[in-house]
Chains A and B, each alone.
Chain A
Amino acid sequence: MTLKQLSIFLENKPGRLGHPCKALAAAGINILTLCLADTEQFGILRVIVRDWEKAKAVLEQAGCVVNVSEVLAIEIPDHPGGMESILAILEPNAINIEYMYAFTLKRGSNAVMIVRVDKPDQAAKALQKNGLALLDASAFFTLA
């Protein structure tokens, strides 16, 4: 129940973000959602695309360093306390959230969060047991 996410190493310099984005655009690959983590010296661009294998090949061809990781796409009730309800499930299971970012589209009355945790399988089980929906790739991409 996980999604493949591509992470790309960037130097924290003007113009660096454009390079992988251009490569993806030239190959006709649409970025469904993305997030940018940054430090003073470098950044990590995280993207979710339909065909991650093709995107990885395109990016590597363009000279990028790419890392593939598994993330969860969790449907969260879009109302106050919605986020908290997920944390209440993960915390007792000693699952650490490394980072998360929101998906730009809504699914009904729910929002979709992309969450990277240290134990994805365990987290997926715990979330599903508590009635939260996880989107797999096909469900996610029909939405996008």
Chain B
Amino acid sequence: MPSIWKHLKQAGGFPHKANPMNTVPIHPDSYADFLTPDELHRVQLYRLQTAVQNSYDKVPLTRDRMKERGLKPEHIKTLADVAHLPFMQKTDLRDTYPYGLFARPMSDIVRLHASSGTTGKPIVVGYTRDDMAVWTSVMTRTLCAAGLNQMDVIQNAFGYGLFTGGLGAHYGAEALGATVIPISGGNTERQIMVMQDFGVTAIFSTPSYFLHLIEAIEATGTGFKGLKLKVGVFGAEPWTDAMRSHIQDRAGIKAYDIYGLSEIIGPGVATECCQQSGLHVFEDHFLMEIVNPETDQVLPDGEEGELVLTTLSKQAIPMIRYRTHDITSIITEPCPCGRTLRRIKRISHRSDDMIIIRGVNVFPSQIEAALLKVEKSLPHYQIVLSRSGGLDQIEVQVEVTGEMFRDRVSALEQLQKKMSQAIEHVVGLRANVRLVEPQTIARSQGKAKRVIDKRMEGSTL
């Protein structure tokens, strides 16, 4: 593919300058990052038509919705025709729990992952062997874009398990040929020991956990001196450029933002490159549109709106026009890194009320459901998010009502504990429940503001 080499040459070689191994050739999977628009569009259209046909044939929900609009797979003649197709939502996965959107028999499914859901039931996603290959490939390309290669020793502090972060990054790093330490999240002391003793050059984690690690490492006395850490790959929760500067200054590393979601594939949907200026979407596997979240109309490049993704190659669960609720815009200027994949701006906020805490997706309605389990009627409540020592803290303030108020301290403490446990049961995170006096939670137009996010406030964090 001569065009790729031409682009690479224009880009002046691939890996970023901080990488001492910048003479190492890029991983072959990254070639697809440098396709010409024509090449890319050809691949996209072929894959889109296949994906729509697959979904229409195998997923009743897609077929029914397309029939309602008088649409057939053969109506997809150009990439722009995707705009005729109905949207898919998170609720579609929930309503068809667990396997309703699967387009392949279980004999073809080699992996399941799950993320939190609103009623205690998670959202289940499946992967065929080919899906795993695609996921591994886009993660390999992600890590390549962060300048990593087979010489790197990677400490993967994303959580392993049902969460897609840990295993997704793991497979990509292994395929890259790097040395992977599957340490998972938590146990800060051990993280530091491994980082010091194993010659770790790169770390994957949530940005908030790394902030916590920075403080712990600085407290060791030697700090970052003597560590070989050069690169951090951070994702699974929103963070800011101010946090990036803080991380890069304090830890002396390059910090990259990655983007992904389980419903689409997991991590590996989009990534920053050495330019650290917007995230390249792996458009050969994920077709992106930006829509106006209110009118559902497709917006032109450059305008801010909701990111809508269609999986082009996913077999197990083809997602057609999936509403991510993440607000961003497409950057139209070509990237100096040479990648021809278009970039999106760092996700700044969401069009719904979902919050991401320590990498876990949480809806206020889940907290509500938990509180309703403890008390028969829903009390006024507010979720206050803060960051302490680099870790996200959740406090749920609950206004005390006559029905729940007891004269004994132990009874009230018991109530707080029960609410906290109910929340942990539903969302999988520990929350501190604080009982507050009636009418102390501010209401605007009679409605309480459910979430107060103080995580980005005040300091540079």
Contact = CB atoms under 8 A, between A and B. Distances in A.
Interface of A: 5, 7, 9-11, 16, 37, 39, 41-42, 44, 46, 63-67, 69, 98-99, 116
22 contacts: A7-B405, A9-B412, A11-B435, A11-B436, A11-B440, A16-B437, A37-B409, A39-B409, A39-B412, A39-B413, A41-B416, A42-B434, A42-B435, A44-B409, A44-B412, A63-B437, A64-B438, A65-B400, A65-B437, A66-B402, A66-B405, A116-B407
8 A-B pairs with the lowest CB-CB distances in the bound complex, closest first = A7-B407, A69-B407, A65-B405, A9-B400, A65-B400, A67-B405, A67-B407, A63-B439
Interface string B433-454: 0111111100000000000000
B407 A11 contact: no
Interface of B: 400-402, 405-409, 412-413, 416, 434-440
Contacts of A98: 408
Given A11-B440, A44-B407, A65 B401 contact: yes
B402 A65 contact: yes
A29 to B, nearest CB: 19
A99 B411 CA distance: 13
Contacts of A11: 435-437, 440
A9 B190 CA distance: 44
A64 B439 CA distance: 9
Given A9-B435, A41-B435, A42-B435, A67 B440 contact: no
Majority-rule SS of A interface residues: strand
A16 B439 CA distance: 13
Chain B at the A interface: SS class: loop
Contacts of A39: 409, 412-413
Nearest to B412: A42
Contacts of B439: 63
A13 B35 CA distance: 62
Contacts of B408: 44, 98-99
B406 to A, nearest CB: 7
Nearest to A46: B407
A39 B434 CA distance: 11
Contacts of A37: 409
Given A16-B437, A42-B435, A67 B413 contact: no
Given A11-B435, A67-B406, 6 more contacts: A7-B405, A16-B437, A37-B409, A65-B401, A65-B438, A66-B402
Nearest to B399: A65
A52 to B, nearest CB: 13
Nearest to A71: B407
Given A9-B400, A65-B401, A65-B405, A41 B437 contact: no
Contacts of A66: 402, 405
Given A37-B409, A98-B408, A67 B437 contact: no
Contacts of B440: 11
A63 B437 CA distance: 9
A10 B412 CA distance: 12
A93 B406 CA distance: 24
Contact of B438 (A7, A16, A63): A63
Contacts of A9: 400, 405, 412, 435, 437
A72 to B, nearest CB: 14
